[in-house]
């Protein structure tokens, strides 16, 4: 099930929240667990087993590590086996066919592809559960004695399929006990609506342009349309991804959980370094906390720092999908971040306008690499952007998308938020919420285009 | 939210209370309101709430139909759909659900590039021509955005249909028994003279557009064109077509369907259903009024005309563009067999053997010819 569906809004929400709010505290986790199973099972019933398996293995690994705290070698063995299992699952279900394809291409072998589809959300929940065992191993958290609580943490529907990546230690207390305050519910609903509107009204609406260029053919579009198209995907991915995160954070609040912020106006950044501090924050912190710093971070000399950066960005790219374009996308950022570290940041500091322009172009180009899976097509598209191609197609598309993209730009650059924060009248805020919700329902009622972009993550 | 301090709590979360109430009411309405079975406007059956069943849960079909059910049976769906259309207008969008609004209320579909089926379908026609030793006439009709170029919004990319039709026709020029019929100029001239050759809200050509094309068919077949000016023309008003069904504009300008009083002896659909006329007047009362022509689309049907002075027969293999054109042909043929491969389950090969020598007219509109996955059946 996805949040941006009538099924979720008008069936899941009323039934689930009625039950959840009515049952006493001690039943809240079981209720959340059961409804999360239904939520996930609605789309991918067969892969429920995989989550259950992941919960069971990591739970017992935790218990074992707790019991073997005296015996370091045994404890480490359990830990390593558990991590091998977690990463192994992810590797197998997400990357096996990618590896097979490339081995075939490289060696001329004819290994046949494995018939599996990517289990929804596996990249997110694997990273979440790994945060538990790693923190446990490092003594930063204590073992969860209740399999139900650990299970609830992992399968909890708000952030299950598209993040944010909530590390275990952040919510471990709330799993034991959480107070649900009406003010928090109100805040949660507001955040949810903003997320829903981001996804349904902006992402879907703007993304149609990018989608359409695929059928028009990249070879047929003018330079201006190529830029407009790339900008449309830039806005789409932000509103889509941030929309999901906001919906998750909002629902979390309604449930009594405090999830971390995932996007902090990334398009206002004045460098790529800053962009990555503001974009998909929970993923970059995960890599920093569990890969970059354990590798030594920047404390082992210049060369090691860049090697570590390379590893992290290779992995970041690869995490986004089993395709070369995602690896290229990650390494593209490795190069830019390294350049900024080396000398570029000193130049960027001098002119904010230049810095914003450079960052904007760098990010827009990165999304082209991200969005197009075929290498030849990426080159074709970027070629279209950086050469002169005339044509009047821009007239139609600008006419069609100017207003909605202008709104998108204003929102993504933070102007709308500033305006919203200035409003003190709660009735106006309430009316805004209700109106946005109703219009979102209208777009879902007549949806032409409502994709789920993270099926590759 | 429940409990003793309920009212105090609600005051601290008014938006949550309103919207939660809204979702509960919607859920109750889903359960309480009678379900719509058939949507006239969309011309399709709507998904009903599926029965809970384990097999369906196992293979996921239960969840899928449930998801569709929530979309198609949404309470106040019409209201929400209109609200979206209005919102798109406020955003100055020129399109909704892939239908583009052009000048003078004309709506157009978007077609950018040749579809996957185009080449296959062309091959089918070639093969059919080689297999069948008889006169074959082929008419691929251009669509409205090709003929009414000037009314399409500036800059909208579109496939050059004329180029593809011309190219295909010239590929076929070596086949002696095949006669291609080019109606492009006829429709362009007609339209430039101020006549309406395509509907504004529907993908079909108008009866007049079909009549112009009928003239070109007569020319190609070497038969005498019947002048229909002496027939009485009837009008069906307030026709909203397939484009409007998708665009859903609250301000769409309705079309008017014209049809001529053309009498026939007999019209038999699928060998069983018999009618004494070419038009189903009951369809003029429903949304899809175009379906009045030939009573709709059927696998096989047969017209016996009143033209007793001739024994000429014709087989028409077609899509729905032919439905408003075939009435004109009853003035030239005593018997017309009509095949719509989309709905035809029988063997066309056998039929062709039975109807030895009878000429064939193949009539498709380009957009459909570009995508239709049933044309291969003409070889089976």
Cβ of A431 under 8 Å from any chain B Cβ?
Answer: no
- What percentage of chain A reaches a pLDDT higher than 90? 79
Instruction: Report whether the peptide linkage leading into residue A164 is cis, meaning its omega lies within 30 degrees of zero.
Output: yes
- A452, pLDDT greater than 70: no
- What percentage of chain A reaches a pLDDT higher than 70? 98
Element (H, E) at B301: strand B300-305
B:223-282 residues touching chain A, CB 8 A cutoff: 248
Ordered by start, the domain boundaries in chain A are: 6-177, 184-456
Burial of A52 (0-12, 13-18, 19+ CB in 10 A): middle
pLDDT score of A455: 58
Chain A's closest residue to B29, CA to CA, is A10
pLDDT score of B2: 43
- Across the interface, whether the CB atoms of A186 and B24 are under 8 A apart is answered no
pLDDT score of A143: 92
* A-B Cβ pairs (cutoff 8 Å, strict): 153
Which of A6, A18, A48, A119 to mutate against chain B (most B CBs within 10 Å)? Answer: A6
pLDDT in tens, A26-64: 999 999 999 999 999 988 788 999 999 999 999 999 999
- A179, pLDDT greater than 80: yes
Cβ of A445 under 8 Å from any chain B Cβ?
Answer: yes
Cβ of A24 under 8 Å from any chain B Cβ?
Answer: no
pLDDT score of A457: 60
Place of tokens 């039943």: A27
Of A4-13, A64-73, A432-441, B267-276, the poorest mean pLDDT is in A64-73
Contacts of B12 (CB under 8 A, 6+ apart): A181, A182, A183, A186
- Tens-level pLDDT at each residue, chain B (380 residues): 444 456 667 778 889 999 999 999 999 999 999 998 887 777 778 889 999 888 888 888 899 899 989 998 999 998 998 899 999 999 999 998 889 999 999 999 999 989 889 999 999 999 999 999 999 999 999 999 999 999 999 999 999 999 999 999 999 988 889 999 999 999 999 999 999 999 999 999 999 999 999 999 999 999 999 888 778 899 999 999 999 988 988 889 999 999 999 999 999 999 999 999 999 999 999 988 999 999 999 999 999 999 888 899 999 999 999 999 999 999 999 999 999 999 999 999 999 999 999 999 999 999 999 999 999 999 98
- Across the interface, whether the CB atoms of B155 and A11 are under 8 A apart is answered no
- Across the interface, whether the CB atoms of B26 and A445 are under 8 A apart is answered no
Across the beta sheet with B273-275, the strand order is B178-180, B136-141, B360-365, B313-318, B335-339, B300-305, B264-269, B273-275
Place of tokens 């830990």: A79
B:65-84 residues touching chain A, CB 8 A cutoff: 66-67, 70-71, 74, 77, 80-81, 83-84
Q: How many CB atoms lie within 10 A of CB B37?
A: 8
Residues of A recognised as catalytic: 320
Element (H, E) at B215: helix B207-221
pLDDT score of A109: 84
- A453, pLDDT greater than 90: no
CB contact at 8 A, B297 and B342: yes
pLDDT score of B1: 42
Chain A's closest residue to B26, CA to CA, is A10
In Å, what is the CA distance from B28 to each residue of A11, B22, B74, B75?
10, 10, 11, 10
What is the mean predicted confidence (pLDDT) over A183-200? 95
pLDDT in tens, A107-145: 888 888 888 888 889 999 999 999 999 999 999 999 999
Q: Measured between beta carbons, which residues in chain A are less than 8 angstroms from residue B10?
A: 182
User: How far is A235 from A241, CA to CA, in rounded Å?
Assistant: 10
- A235 Cα to chain B: minimum distance (Å): 17
Considering only CA atoms, which of A109, A378, A312 is closest in space to residue A99? A109
pLDDT score of B313: 95
- A7, pLDDT greater than 80: yes
- A15 Cα to chain B: minimum distance (Å): 8
Q: Measured between beta carbons, which residues in chain B are less than 8 angstroms from residue A394?
A: 155
Q: Could you give phi then psi for residue A299, rounded to 5 degrees?
A: -95, 0
Measured between CB atoms, which of A6, A221, A434 is closest to B18? A434
ipTM of the complex: 0.88
- B365 Cα to chain A: minimum distance (Å): 21
What is the mean predicted confidence (pLDDT) over A352-369? 96
- Across the interface, whether the CB atoms of B156 and A434 are under 8 A apart is answered no
Q: How many CB atoms lie within 10 A of CB B74?
A: 22
B:342-371 residues touching chain A, CB 8 A cutoff: none
CB contact at 8 A, B339 and B351: yes
Cβ of B33 under 8 Å from any chain A Cβ?
Answer: no
pLDDT in tens, A223-277: 999 999 999 999 999 999 999 999 999 999 999 999 999 999 999 999 999 999 9
pLDDT score of B343: 93
């Amino acid at each position: 099930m996805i949040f941006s569906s009538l099924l979720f809004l008008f069936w899941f929400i009323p039934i689930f929240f009625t039950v959840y709010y009515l049952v006493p505290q001690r039943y809240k986790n079981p209720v959340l667990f059961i409804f999360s199973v239904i939520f996930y099972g609605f789309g991918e019933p067969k892969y429920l087993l995989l989550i259950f398996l992941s919960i069971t293995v990591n739970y017992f690994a935790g218990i074992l590590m707790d019991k073997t705290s005296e015996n370091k070698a045994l404890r480490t063995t359990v830990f390593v086996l558990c991590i091998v299992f977690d990463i192994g699952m992810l590797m197998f279900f997400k990357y096996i066919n990618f590896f097979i394809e490339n081995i075939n291409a490289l060696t001329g072998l004819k290994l046949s592809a494995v018939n599996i589809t990517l289990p929804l959300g596996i990249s997110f929940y694997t990273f979440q559960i790994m945060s538990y065992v790693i923190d446990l191993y490092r003594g930063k958290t204590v073992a969860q004695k209740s399999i139900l609580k650990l299970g609830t943490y992992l399968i909890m529907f708000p952030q299950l399929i598209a993040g944010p990546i909530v590390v275990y230690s952040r919510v471990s207390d709330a799993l034991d006990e959480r107070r649900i305050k009406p003010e928090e519910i109100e805040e949660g609903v507001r955040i949810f609506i903003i997320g829903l509107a981001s996804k349904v009204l902006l992402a879907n609406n703007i993304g149609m342009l990018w989608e359409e260029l695929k059928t028009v053919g990249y070879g047929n579009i003018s330079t201006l349309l190529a830029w407009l198209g790339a900008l449309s995907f830039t806005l789409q991915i932000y509103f889509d991804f941030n929309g999901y995160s906001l919906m998750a954070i909002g629902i979390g609040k309604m449930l009594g959980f405090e999830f971390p912020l995932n996007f902090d106006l990334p398009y206002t950044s004045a460098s790529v370094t800053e962009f990555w501090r503001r974009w998909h924050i929970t993923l970059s912190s995960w890599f920093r906390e569990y890969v970059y710093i354990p590798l030594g971070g920047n404390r082992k000399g210049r060369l090691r720092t860049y090697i570590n950066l390379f590893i992290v960005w290779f992995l970041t790219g690869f995490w986004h999908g089993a395709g070369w374009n995602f690896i290229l996308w990650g390494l593209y950022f490795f190069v830019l971040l390294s350049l900024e570290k080396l000398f570029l940041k000193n130049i960027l500091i001098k002119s904010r306008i230049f810095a914003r322009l450079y960052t904007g172009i760098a990010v827009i180009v990165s999304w082209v690499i991200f969005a197009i899976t075929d290498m030849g097509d990426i080159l074709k598209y970027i070629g279209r952007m950086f050469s002169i191609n005339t044509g009047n197609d821009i007239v139609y598309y600008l006419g069609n998308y100017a207003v909605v993209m202008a709104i998108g730009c204003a929102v993504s650059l933070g102007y709308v938020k500033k305006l919203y924060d200035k409003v003190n009248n709660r009735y106006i805020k309430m009316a805004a919420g209700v109106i946005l919700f109703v219009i979102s329902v209208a777009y879902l009622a007549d949806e032409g285009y409502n994709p789920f972009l993270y099926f590759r993550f | 939210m429940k409990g003793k301090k309920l009212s105090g709590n609600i005051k601290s979360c008014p938006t949550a209370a309103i919207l939660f109430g809204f979702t509960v009411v919607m859920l109750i309405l889903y359960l309480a309101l009678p379900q719509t079975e058939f949507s006239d406007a969309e011309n399709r059956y709507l998904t009903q709430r599926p029965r809970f069943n384990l097999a369906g849960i196992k293979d996921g079909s239960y969840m899928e139909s449930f998801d569709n059910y929530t979309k198609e049976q949404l309470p106040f769906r019409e209201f929400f759909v209109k609200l979206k259309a209005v919102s798109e207008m406020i955003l100055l969008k020129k399109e909704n659900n892939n239908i583009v609004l052009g000048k003078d209320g004309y709506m157009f579909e978007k077609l950018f590039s040749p579809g996957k089926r185009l080449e296959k379908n062309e091959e089918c026609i070639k093969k059919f021509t080689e297999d069948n030793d008889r006169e074959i006439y082929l008419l691929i009709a251009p669509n409205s955005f090709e003929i009414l170029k000037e009314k399409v919004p500036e800059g909208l990319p579109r496939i050059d249909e004329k180029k593809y039709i011309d190219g295909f026709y010239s590929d076929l020029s070596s086949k002696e028994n095949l006669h291609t019929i080019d109606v492009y100029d006829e429709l362009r001239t007609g339209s430039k003279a101020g006549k309406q050759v395509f509907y504004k809200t529907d993908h079909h050509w108008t009866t007049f557009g079909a009549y112009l094309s009928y003239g070109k068919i007569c020319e190609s077949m070497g038969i005498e064109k019947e002048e229909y000016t002496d027939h009485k023309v009837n009008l069906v008003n307030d026709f909203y077509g397939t484009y409007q069904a998708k665009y859903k504009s609250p301000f769409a300008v309705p079309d008017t369907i014209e049809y001529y009083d053309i009498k026939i002896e007999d019209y038999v659909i699928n060998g069983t259903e018999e009618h004494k006329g070419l038009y189903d007047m009951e369809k003029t009362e429903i949304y899809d009024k175009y379906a009045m022509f030939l009573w709709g689309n059927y696998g096989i049907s047969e017209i016996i005309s009143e033209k007793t002075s001739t024994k000429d027969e014709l087989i028409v293999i077609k899509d729905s563009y032919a439905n408003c054109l075939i009435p004109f042909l009853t003035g030239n043929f005593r018997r017309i067999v009509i095949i719509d491969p989309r709905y035809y389950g029988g063997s066309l090969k056998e039929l062709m053997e039975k109807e030895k020598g009878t000429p064939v007219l193949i009539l498709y509109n380009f957009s459909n010819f570009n995508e239709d996955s049933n044309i291969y059946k003409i070889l089976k």
